[in-house]
A and B are shown apart, each in its own frame.
Chain A
Amino acid sequence: MRFLYFFVRRFLHSIFVLLGLSVVIYVISRIVPGDPARMAVGYQAPQWVVNNMREYMHLNDTIPVQFFYWLRSALSGDLGISLLTRRPVIDDIRQVFPATLELALYAGLIMAIGGIMLGTLSAHHKDKWVDNVVRVFAYMGIVTPAFVFGIVFTLVFGFWLNWLPTIGRISPDLTSPPVVTGLMTVDSLLAGKPLIFIDAVKHLLMPSIALAMAGLSQGARITRATMSDNLGKDYIAAERALGIPERQVLWKFLLKPSLIPTVSILGLDIAAAIGNAFLLELIFSWPGVSRYGVRAMLAKDLNAISAVVLILGLAFVVVNICVDLVVGILDPRIRLSAQRNE
């Protein structure tokens, strides 16, 4: 009950964050030079068309009023027309966002599982060779940019070994399953097509691992540090001393308190991955939102740029809510102090 309250409060917070973000986006899109009405109708259109367009776009009103109109249509899903594709921006986003979301979800999964496993392994074998190998690996994972991994993977597993496909979300000879969620792996299963699922996973493997490397390494380091710290805590000594088997001490009583900082860090890494995906989307010809955003920027397509920033901001906020939720579940101290402050 109380936890629900904590969660709702957190959610309301996020709405203000998004509102702030949209103000920033709006202001930026309005202070850049150039008349949006002129851009919308094109350079050949006569002046009266532009004037009508100004009226239609509420550009003759004051900025706060304009913002209100903009927000109202944004909330109803109308983010304007893209200059580049000449389609409603929201339709473009609907098409490209799931690709990035799927990439980021798998990357997040790999980060979390890989990071926690490696970190745990490292902590259990502290200062032995396993630990040293993991630590060197983690350093490399942090200092190497994701696109380098992307290129290396493409060369090694794509061209030399020819194990994995290097382009797109699905092989060209397969037809995409009907769009339900937009996530290829989910839609293929919903459509009952396991072969497409396997194909989609193969396509996801390289870009998502490349995208996950930095977060995975960060997660491994944090998990190792927290866990070896907690290993020296009295409650672990007490649990061992009372005869609780070692496996249960390590995988239950040590793991849970040690995951809390890792989850917070991974949350940031996952949110960042959504924005950082663009170079990988270019390398792997991934039809995602980052690639769309880069093209919009090059074409000064303001509506599309605003929409991309907004959707990335939204993703960031959602990830953070999820992180708070998971941390709240893991750590009763946070949950209970949230109650007490009310």
Chain B
Amino acid sequence: MSGHPLLEIKDLYVQFNVYGGALKVLDGVNIEVHPGEKVGLVGETGAGKTTTMKAVLHVLPEPAAQITGGEILFDGQDILKMVPSQLKQIRGKGIAMIFQDPTLALNPVFTVGEQMSAVVQYSMEAGRNLTKREVRERSITTLKEVSLADPERLLGNYPIQLSGGMRQRICIAMALAARPKLLIADEPGTSLDVTIQDQVLRLLDELVEKRNTAIILITHSLGVVRERTDRVYVMYAGNIVENAPTTQLYSRSFHPYTQGLMAAVPKLTGGGVSDGIPGRMPAYLNPPQGCRFSPRCPRVMEICRGEKPMLREASPGHQVACFLYPRGNELEINTKWNVSSGG
């Protein structure tokens, strides 16, 4: 990609301080998104995908969550150093997020209209206050854009009166109300049944395509990102282990974890990717020394247990964090995965 990136996450460290100690979840995350680019973020449950994206919007639950290192640059400015008035310019208009579970992402005691109008009101260019009528009209237009029928009635409804698919669409509508330059979609539709999930994804494709919005699409499923992204980041236990242009990643992946994911894909009968790879993700309270994947890795070496592999270019535009690939020495290594289809 040419030009300077829209979003640049540099070496991000996040921990959660809980009763028994600190959960060191994000362990140096690096992600870059260029204007209009479609990026996929793939990883099994608990990998830290949502945590990364909440950090980007500076909405991690404080004081439990603590950002212990790194930078998040949006248009060259560090979000982590912003004062509230600067954040206000970024949120909604610059970056918007569709949260993972639409049932949890909507406030249960306010009507759709009350929530929409708060969003619509502040989605406007600075300095102009909308009248009540204008807010209502804009809310209705926004709901129509996500193909919701009878938006007038919806405005008076509470979230519990709506189906999962409707809630998901409302979340999408709210995220797109301010016409963001970057949309973060956290597993859109995962909580819905497959046909509705498909509709939601297609709706999202359409809206994003029309406005040339950059998007970070988070998912468990390699199938979903393959069809609709330019570049894929693979995340494991708070690390980006590999990133590459989508076609390249599918034709040739380097990291043993990614290879495991790929091997698991055709055999998956639904469910999480972790089904395919033996073992479990490590606990964040005492993460393994060195490479966090080492306890599960079939190609583990001595060095992996002592030292953390850095992301480096394995081939042009294709980065991997693995000691199997020393700098400038491109090897073709194919991990033999003995993948069970799980369950």
Contacts and interface: CB of A to CB of B under 8 A. Distances in A.
Q: Do A and B bind each other?
A: yes
Contact of A332 (B91, B109, B122): B109
A246 B63 contact: no
Contacts of B57: 237, 240-241
A167 B104 CA distance: 54
B178 A243 contact: yes
B158 A336 contact: yes
A140 to B, nearest CB: 25
A137 interface: no
B119 A242 contact: yes
B100 A257 contact: no
A251 to B, nearest CB: 12
Contacts of B109: 256-257, 260, 330-333
Interface string B104-125: 1111111100010011001100
A285 interface: no
A172 interface: no
Nearest to B120: A242
Contacts of B178: 242-243
Interface residues of A, number: 28
Contacts of B42: none
A299 interface: no
B93 interface: yes
A132 to B, nearest CB: 13
Given A234-B100, A242-B178, A257 B107 contact: yes
Interface string B76-101: 00000000100010011101110111
Nearest to A247: B84
Interface string A145-188: 00000000000000000000000000000000000000000000
Given A126-B63, A237-B59, A243 B107 contact: no
A137 B88 CA distance: 36
Interface string A239-253: 111111110100011
Nearest to A259: B109
A336 B160 contact: yes
B288 to A, nearest CB: 28
Interface residues of B, number: 39
Interface in A180-232: 231-232
B118 A248 contact: yes
B72 interface: no
Contacts of A126: 63
Nearest to B122: A243
B166 interface: no
A239 B99 contact: no
Given A256-B110, A257-B109, A240 B104 contact: no
Nearest to A246: B84
A55 interface: no
Nearest to A126: B63
A242 B96 contact: yes
B134 to A, nearest CB: 17
Contacts of A242: 91-92, 96-97, 119, 122-123, 174-175, 177-178
Given A234-B101, A336-B160, A241 B91 contact: yes
A246 B154 CA distance: 26
Contacts of B160: 332-333, 336
Contacts of A234: 99-101, 104-105
B144 interface: no
Nearest to B84: A246
A28 B177 CA distance: 67
A239 B101 CA distance: 14
Contacts of A333: 108-109, 158, 160
A235 B123 contact: no
B88 A336 contact: no
Contact of A240 (B59, B115, B123, B175): B59
Contacts of B122: 242-245
Given A256-B109, A257-B108, A241 B97 contact: yes
B64 interface: yes
Given A234-B104, A238-B106, A336-B158, 13 more contacts: A126-B63, A234-B100, A235-B106, A237-B54, A242-B96, A243-B92, A243-B93, A243-B119, A244-B118, A248-B118, A257-B107, A332-B158, A333-B108
9 contacts: A126-B63, A237-B61, A237-B99, A238-B97, A239-B119, A243-B178, A257-B108, A333-B160, A336-B160
Interface of A: 126-127, 231-235, 237-246, 248, 252-253, 256-257, 260, 330-333, 336
- Smallest CB-CB A-B distances: 7 pairs: A243-B92, A243-B91, A232-B61, A237-B59, A234-B104, A241-B57, A332-B158
